[in-house]
Amino acid sequence: AKHTGRDQFRFYAPKMKDRGRELLALETDLRRALEREEFILHYQPQLDLSTNQITTVEALVRWQHAQRGLVSPGDFIPLLEQTGLIIEVGNWILETACKQAQAWWACGYPLRIAVNCSAHQFQQYLLDTVHQLLQKHSLNPACLELEVTESVVMQDVQYATHILEHLKAMGVTLAIDDFGTGYSSLAYLKRFPIHSLKIDHSFVHELSDDSEDAAIAEAIVLLGHSLDLEVVAEGVESEAQARFFQNHQCHRIQGYWIGRPMPAENLFPLIESRNVK
Ligand code: C2E
Ligand code: CA
Ligand code: CA
Ligand code: CA
């Protein structure tokens, strides 16, 4: 046993030791997961409320673990970020999403694909990666939307503006994810070359019975209208919530009400039945 003081002892307490082992095992697993192609993308549709068409689809990563089953991103994205593995996995996600968008386009559905971009990925190299992927898969840049959170762009405003402007020049669209939950300055919103705001689901869930959440959601939609940004409401689960956003002329809604994240082969029939070719 360790005997260098109480704190040390507590650190090596059995529970912590197990937790440490568990993390190490997970990290080793994650390194192998890429080689073994255990990551998969699910796709969640967004409905354009003015046309009643599915125009955008968000790519959400899952890990198909041999023992653990389908692991959700909340359980391994932080670890990918800590270990730096997010760059490699993030590139795989981007490429897989681009290929999928190209495949839909070839079937006559020019859907835009939204891909989440973590802080580590939001670097100079991202510009080259995106540029190369668009070329390699002959994808119309307008079919790619990158989602970044407020904290990512607010960390270094000048640098973020540089990256965002280059992406925009390529023709890629940009969305601010989880809008309203982070620290952001409204003044920067008009300076950043962004295309859309995603209202965080925390404002959407209790919409019908919480007037404060309704007021916030409505204010974000209005902000979008006046700054000429599209607004997407996420986490829409009920008809009442969908109607609320329809009434307030929100551009797009995403949530279980329209469809859960699902494999591409399950999404395709949904698109075929809903969209005009
Ligand atoms: P996010 O980007 O805010 O994604 C939306 C999350 O809300 C997804 O969880 C989605 O499954 C869930 N969701 C969608 N509609 C509803 C609804 O109607 N009700 C409820 N209760 N939930 C809904 P998921 O797939 O577990 O992803 C969690 C987070 O993990 C994402 O939050 C995102 O931050 C991160 N993530 C997912 N995929 C990726 C990825 O490919 N790259 C990176 N960097 N992060 C990712
Ligand atoms: Ca997102
Ligand atoms: Ca979000
Ligand atoms: Ca979120």
Atom of ligand 1 nearest to the CA of 261: 11
pLDDT higher than threshold 90 for residue 126: yes
| Residue 116 alpha carbon to ligand 2 centre in Å | 5
pLDDT higher than threshold 70 for residue 118: yes
Give the CB-side neighbour count of residue 84, counting CA atoms within 13 A: 0
Strand spans (E) along 77-182: 112-116, 144-149, 173-179
Average pLDDT over residues 218-239: 96
Q: Pick the closest to residue 118 from 162, 79, 144 (CA basis).
A: 79
Give the residue whose CA is nearest to atom 34 of ligand 1: 116
Confidence of residue 1 (pLDDT cuts 50, 70, 90): very low
pLDDT at 124: 87
pLDDT at 10: 42
Cβ–Cβ under 8 Å, residues 104 and 110: yes
| Residue 237 alpha carbon to ligand 1 centre in Å | 14
Q: What is the mean pLDDT of the chain?
A: 90
Atom of ligand 1 nearest to the CA of 59: 41
Average pLDDT over residues 126-132: 97
Q: What percent of the chain has a predicted confidence (pLDDT) above 90?
A: 74
**CA of residue 165 relative to chain centroid, distance:** 20
| Residues in contact with ligand 1 (CB, 6 Å cut-off) | 44, 59-61, 72-74, 77, 93, 116, 118, 177-178, 201, 234-237, 255-256, 261
Rounded distance, CA 53 to CA 186, Å? 30
